Amino acid sequence: MIAKCRKCRMGCLLAVFLIGVFLIPVLPVQASGTATTTTTQETQEEEISLTKASGLVEVQTIGEVKWKKAVVGMKLKANQRIRTFGKSRACLDLGDGSSIVMATNSILDILELKKQIEGKKGFASKVKLWIGKIRTEIKKLDEDSSFEVVTPTSLAGVRGTKWDNSVADDESSSTYVIDGNVWLANVIGTQQYMLLQGQISNVTQNGEMSLPAFATSEQQSDIEKQWQEDVEPAKEEKVKEVKEVKEKVTEPEPSIPDTKEKKPGKKLGKKSLTLEGLVGSRMIDGVNYNEVIIQPDISFGKLGIGLNILAHWNDDGFREEDYDDLGNIIRYVRWAEKGAKPLYVKLGKLERTTLGHGFILSSYSNQGTDTSKNILGSEIDVNLKNKGIETVVNDVTDPRLFGVRLYCQPLKMMDINIPVLSRINIGLIGVTDTEPQPENKEAMTVYGVDMGMPIWGKLLELHADMAKIQDFGDGMAYGLGGKANIDWIDTAFGYKFEMRNLGEKFVPSIFNSLYEVIRPGTSSISSIKKSTGWYGEATLGILKAVSVGFAMQDFKEGEPTVHGELNVENNLFSKIVKKDIGISFSYDQVREKGGSLFQLNAKNSVTTQEITYGLSDNVVLTYSYRQIVDKNGKKTKTASLATKMAF
């Protein structure tokens, strides 16, 4: 009966969520803080004309659900929305020689059309670009009139000029001035600049504006290329009055270049070879060995390969077991970076690997108590436009744990473009361990579903998760999270907070940083009681020199967990004390109820420390320490003092 009630409750919650998703678009919506409905009894309602259309173009009244196909020659009014699809383009005649050209996959709201400005003789017009690219050309307006282009993060105002706007999926935006001047401000009202002819400015998803900069010749070339999109043959309005407008948009128009700063050394096709050497000693299985390691790092574009050329020996000779394990020879193989499109591949040590929101697999590490082995785990992600897959394997040479997540943005896949709601993503996750405890072949499988909805770019996302351990219990979580970069103070931060409702015999994030150390198996799950609790995490990076992170979960019943980390890069000390010193520290623990935070010798804990000291430009002295305390209190310590040489 209890299980049935829980399933009913989870089903009701899911039904309410889905009903909300499909009812929200039906409710009346205002696309801006200003009124979008044009109502006047004294003057005729202003209109603009669709003078050219390529491919599929649709029109909608803001607040309604139904779209209708746009035809050349139709009139559009304030409080209407127009969108273009793939291989599509549209040209709007604003009158008086002014126009807007919409690129493919764009959504534009017409908010105001020559609305009388109170107390003045002039008129105000305003449009809002939700996503995509537009080129706007406004002829000279009188002193009291204005024309504005609004995006989710910026506001551009002009009286007579020609410029491009673009908005990405994460709501970051860019503005490029072709002719004249443009006043550009962020929507949070903290920054405002005048862009001159030929200048570009970008606004991040959290509203941070870059200083206007003149486009280089390479960027101008990129502008041209971005508008060279294949479109279907245009259908033009055969009206004499719009002939001039049609001639102007016959040739493909440029858009905004990608002016984000590229990290040095990441250009495609760049080759590099670096070597590091390590000389020291190490204790392996209770036996001391001398150690020499040479570590080549080879990179070619997105491909990176790291190798281990090593030798361990003592009075009894060389340790031959080093060459029996492929992981001791290959440190890693990497293609691209996490989140890259369309493919990301990593083969090597897994640290803080997460699937989805982390309700099943979070900050997973494939390194167990045997620190002498470099286990070759794998992450392979395929990230396409509106869908993708994430995979995890603990050890490709002896696989035991497998994880996969399939995800998509269903509304975008159906070409349904509704601001905010179109970004909803849904994922299906499954993780199984075929041997959760040594010599225990009773597999443990966890599966679930997750939903996420970005509200404000990457700064704020709502999410919900439901999961079940096969043959045991289930649980759910809901919360919010986000991350952002503050460029002007060179700071990055991230956060996550969620509430968790857990049924009997269920453990959230069971595959975590301590999983391979504890290997809890299924026997420990049977005694877990129903509980509610919370989970929170926060990260902060300052000046690319110091980063801190903290995560914790706590429940009315069950054992709390805590994670903390601190990293101080050597460039900080080199500026303060003129010494090349680096420090890193991390701590993970499953605490006993009522136990203290960061009790370094507590059961079920892992502590790692590393201190580096630069003896010269090419020689670094490194002290490494790792302590593992298992569930029975048994300690495993590894410490080494080594010299790394970069050739």
Summarised one tens digit per residue, pLDDT across range 317-344 is: 888 777 777 767 888 899 888 877 889 9
Is residue 176 assigned to a domain? yes
Q: How confident is the model at residue 370 (pLDDT cuts 50, 70, 90)?
A: low
Q: Of residues 360 and 11, which shows the higher confidence score?
A: 360
User: Is the pLDDT confidence value at 542 over 90?
Assistant: no
Q: What is the pLDDT of residue 84?
A: 92
User: Is the pLDDT confidence value at 549 over 80?
Assistant: yes
Is residue 480 assigned to a domain? no
Q: What is the pLDDT of residue 466?
A: 97
Q: What is the pLDDT of residue 95?
A: 83
Is residue 194 assigned to a domain? yes
Instruction: Specify which residues 342 forms β-bridges with.
Output: none
> What is the rounded distance in angstroms from the CA atom of residue 72 to the CA atom of residue 202?
33
- Mean pLDDT across 241-247: 37
Q: What is the pLDDT of residue 36?
A: 36
Is the separation of the CB atoms in 356 and 427 below 8 Å? Answer: yes
Q: What is the pLDDT of residue 577?
A: 72
Q: How confident is the model at residue 66 (pLDDT cuts 50, 70, 90)?
A: confident
Note the pLDDT tens digit of each residue in 439-449.
777 889 999 99
Contacts 24+ apart (CB under 8 A), 8-17: 10/466, 10/474, 10/476, 13/476, 14/466, 17/451, 17/464
> What is the rounded distance in angstroms from the CA atom of residue 164 to the CA atom of residue 223?
10
Q: What is the pLDDT of residue 643?
A: 65
Mean pLDDT lowest among 32-46, 75-89, 203-217, 282-296 = 32-46
Is residue 211 assigned to a domain? yes
* pTM of the full structure: 0.56
- Mean pLDDT across 94-105: 88
Q: What is the pLDDT of residue 270?
A: 45
Q: What is the pLDDT of residue 391?
A: 96
Is residue 392 assigned to a domain? no
Q: What is the pLDDT of residue 208?
A: 81
Q: How confident is the model at residue 402 (pLDDT cuts 50, 70, 90)?
A: very high
- Mean pLDDT across 73-96: 89
- Mean pLDDT across 179-197: 84
221 backbone dihedrals φ, ψ, rounded to 5°: -65, -40
Q: What is the pLDDT of residue 35?
A: 35
Kindly provide the residue ranges of all beta strands, DSSP E only, lying in 384-421, ordered along the sequence: 387-393, 401-408
Q: What is the pLDDT of residue 242?
A: 36
User: Is the pLDDT confidence value at 281 over 90?
Assistant: no
Q: For residue 107, count other CB atoms closer than 10 A to its CB.
A: 22
Q: Name residues whose C-beta falls within 8 Å of residue 207's C-beta, 6 or more positions apart in sequence.
A: 153, 186, 187, 188, 190, 191
Q: What is the pLDDT of residue 469?
A: 94
Q: Name residues whose C-beta falls within 8 Å of residue 564's C-beta, 6 or more positions apart in sequence.
A: 549, 550, 551, 585, 586, 587, 598
Q: What is the pLDDT of residue 83?
A: 92
Q: Of residues 631 and 313, which shows the higher confidence score?
A: 313
> What is the rounded distance in angstroms from the CA atom of residue 156 to the CA atom of residue 195?
10
User: Is the pLDDT confidence value at 38 over 50?
Assistant: no
Of 134-148, 250-264, 591-605, the range with the highest mean pLDDT is 134-148
User: Is the pLDDT confidence value at 12 over 50?
Assistant: no
Q: Which domain holds residue 224?
A: 48-248
Q: What is the pLDDT of residue 631?
A: 73
Is the separation of the CB atoms in 535 and 559 below 8 Å? Answer: no
- Mean pLDDT across 606-611: 87
Q: For residue 219, count other CB atoms closer than 10 A to its CB.
A: 17
Of 143-147, 194-198, 416-420, the range with the highest mean pLDDT is 194-198
- Per DSSP, the three-state class of 104 is coil
User: Is the pLDDT confidence value at 276 over 80?
Assistant: no
Mean pLDDT lowest among 127-136, 230-239, 489-498, 591-600 = 230-239
User: Is the pLDDT confidence value at 451 over 90?
Assistant: yes
User: Is the pLDDT confidence value at 408 over 70?
Assistant: yes
Mean pLDDT lowest among 202-216, 227-241, 352-366 = 227-241
Q: Of residues 383 and 28, which shows the higher confidence score?
A: 383
Q: Of residues 20 and 631, which shows the higher confidence score?
A: 631
Q: What is the pLDDT of residue 596?
A: 58
Q: Of residues 409 and 440, which shows the higher confidence score?
A: 409
- Mean pLDDT across 40-54: 71
Instruction: Specify which residues 413 forms β-bridges with.
Output: none
Separation in Å, CA 615 to CA 282, 567, 643, 644, 646: 21, 20, 9, 10, 12
Q: What is the pLDDT of residue 256?
A: 34
- Mean pLDDT across 515-543: 83
Q: How confident is the model at residue 32 (pLDDT cuts 50, 70, 90)?
A: very low
**How many domains is the chain partitioned into structurally?**
1
Percent of the chain with pLDDT over 90: 22
- Mean pLDDT across 550-579: 80
User: Pairing mode, if any, of strands 48-54 and 75-76?
Assistant: antiparallel
Q: What is the pLDDT of residue 592?
A: 64
- Mean pLDDT across 285-299: 80
Q: How confident is the model at residue 488 (pLDDT cuts 50, 70, 90)?
A: low
Q: Name residues whose C-beta falls within 8 Å of residue 322's C-beta, 6 or more positions apart in sequence.
A: 310, 311, 312, 328
Is residue 147 assigned to a domain? yes
CATH at 99: 2.60.120.1440
Is residue 74 assigned to a domain? yes
Q: Name residues whose C-beta falls within 8 Å of residue 189's C-beta, 6 or more positions apart in sequence.
A: none
Q: Which of 332, 327, 320 is nearest to 370 (CA)?
A: 327
- Mean pLDDT across 152-181: 85
Element (H, E) at 538: strand 531-542
Is residue 311 assigned to a domain? no
- Per DSSP, the three-state class of 379 is strand
- Mean pLDDT across 360-365: 90
Q: How confident is the model at residue 16 (pLDDT cuts 50, 70, 90)?
A: very low
